């Protein structure tokens, strides 16, 4: 019996020794992606700041006491809407004085023109001297000029009376009022009474380095990228919290002068703002298309490793499912990919999963991975889960 038991133990030990090398010799499983050429739009992200499409500072054009404020602070106003009413008593008196001055000038004009007409008839029969005739004609012309001056003074008085009711110069959203009823305001004062901004659409001013612009021009000339023609190219906006703005803007203006201090060129985009989400002075990021790479090869960023000197490389699976290390040259990041300059070609299988199990020269088992497939997390119904838990507790009792 002892001999039989020893034989069983030896057979079991031999079986384990035989199975272990077989498990170790099995090829490691790795995930790969097959590189393909594709047309890729290239863009750049630039810092920018929002500006109001229209902005107006409301100031009085005549002096007076503020009687009423006729708007709601922070609300929307329309062009021509009354904002303030000033005390217009002195302005109405000035208008009445101008009306009387005009009437006086017109009456004097009638008298002098009648005299000039009579003297014109008398000078023909030499009843008066030539000097008297000329003086009467000059007096008639002066009276006509006096009437014109009086009429202009009346028009100016009426304009000033109209300015006693301060109106909105543009449509938009109005800010806080800097004065209250009873305050004295003066014509063309430095401090505005309030501000009005039009926020739909909005301007977004952003800057681009002149060095980046020169490199982009070199890439266009070398044929690496195709130039995107036209100034009405689309511009996408990213807000301060990292979220994407839902409306797409259009590039309106590209500066031609480099800022001597910053070494940058200013660009401007017009962006719709129907919900009023953008406000003047906000910091944003503008995503601007700069070129088109017609035969781009994109390498997943997770497949790239770097040595101590920073040189990038990837692991590829060549013919025979053998792993090989390849040095690459990368251009720029495109989302979660790198735009490849050189080192790989289309059709190469690049390892993206299972690095810790392989090294160059190993034979592997290949599984192609679709990195673009998105699998969202499963949603859990909290009420159903709670009901199931209560049922389990009751069943256990």
Residue 218: the pLDDT is 66
Half-sphere exposure of 218 (CA within 13 A, CB side): 6
Which are the contacts of 43, defined by CB distance < 8 A and separation ≥ 6? 287, 288, 289, 290
- The rounded distance, in Å, linking the Cα atoms of 192 and 265 is 32
| Cβ–Cβ < 8 Å for 326, 342 | no
Task: Indicate the pTM of the whole model.
Answer: 0.57
| Cβ–Cβ < 8 Å for 55, 196 | yes
Residue 260: the pLDDT is 60
Taking alpha carbons only, the member of 355, 313, 348, 347 closest to residue 330 is: 313
Residue 362: the pLDDT is 85
pLDDT tens per residue across all 397 residues of the chain = 444 444 444 444 444 444 444 455 678 888 888 888 887 777 777 888 888 888 899 999 999 999 999 999 888 899 999 999 999 999 999 999 999 999 999 999 999 999 998 988 888 888 888 898 889 899 999 999 999 999 999 999 999 999 999 999 999 899 999 999 999 999 888 999 999 998 888 898 887 776 666 666 666 565 555 555 555 577 888 888 888 888 888 877 665 666 666 667 777 888 998 888 888 888 988 887 766 777 788 888 888 888 888 889 888 888 888 888 888 888 778 778 888 888 888 888 888 888 888 888 888 888 888 776 543 333 334 344 444 445 444 544 4
Residue 263: the pLDDT is 66
Which are the contacts of 140, defined by CB distance < 8 A and separation ≥ 6? 109, 112, 113, 115, 116
Give the helix ranges, DSSP H, for 25-88. none
Q: What domains can be seen in the chain, in order of their start residue?
A: 28-40+296-368 (2.40.420.20), 41-53+199-292 (2.40.30.170), 60-86+164-191 (2.40.50.100), 88-163 (1.10.287.470)
């Amino acid at each position: 019996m002892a001999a039989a038991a020893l034989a069983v133990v030896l057979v079991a030990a031999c079986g384990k020794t035989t199975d272990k090398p077989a498990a170790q010799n099995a090829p490691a499983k790795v995930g790969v992606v097959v590189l393909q050429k594709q047309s890729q739009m290239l863009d750049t992200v630039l810092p920018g700041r929002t500006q109001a499409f229209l902005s107006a500072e409301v100031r009085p054009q005549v002096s007076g006491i503020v009687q009423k404020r006729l708007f709601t602070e922070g609300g929307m106003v329309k062009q021509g809407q009354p904002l303030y009413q000033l005390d217009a008593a002195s302005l109405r008196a000035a208008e009445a004085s101008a009306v009387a001055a005009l009437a006086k000038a017109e009456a004097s004009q009638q008298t002098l023109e009648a005299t000039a007409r009579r003297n014109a008839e008398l000078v023909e029969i030499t009843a008066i001297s030539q000097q008297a005739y000329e003086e009467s004609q000059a007096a008639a012309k002066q009276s006509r000029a006096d009437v014109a001056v009086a009429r202009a003074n009346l028009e100016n008085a009426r304009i000033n009376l109209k300015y006693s009711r301060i109106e909105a110069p543009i449509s938009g959203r109005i800010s806080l009022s800097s004065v209250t009823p009873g305050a004295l305001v003066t014509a063309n004062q430095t401090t505005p009474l309030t501000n009005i901004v039009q926020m739909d659409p909005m301007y977004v001013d952003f800057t681009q380095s002149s060095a980046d612009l020169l490199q982009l021009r070199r890439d266009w000339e070398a044929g690496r990228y195709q130039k995107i023609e036209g100034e009405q190219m689309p511009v996408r906006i990213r807000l301060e919290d990292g979220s994407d703005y839902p409306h797409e803007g259009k590039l309106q203006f590209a500066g031609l002068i480099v800022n001597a201090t910053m070494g940058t060129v200013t660009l401007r985009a017009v962006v719709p703002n129907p919900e009023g989400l953008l406000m003047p002075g906000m910091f944003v990021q503008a995503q601007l298309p700069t070129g088109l790479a017609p035969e781009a090869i994109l390498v997943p960023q997770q497949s790239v490793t770097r040595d101590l000197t920073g040189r990038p490389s990837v692991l590829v699976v060549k013919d025979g499912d053998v792993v090989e290390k390849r040095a690459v040259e990368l251009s720029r990041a495109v989302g979660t990919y790198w735009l490849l300059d050189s080192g790989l070609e289309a059709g190469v299988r690049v390892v993206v999963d299972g690095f810790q199990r392989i090294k160059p020269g190993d034979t592997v088992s290949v599984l192609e991975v679709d990195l673009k497939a998105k699998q969202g997390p499963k949603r859990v119904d909290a009420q159903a889960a709670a009901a199931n838990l209560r049922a389990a507790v009751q069943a256990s009792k």
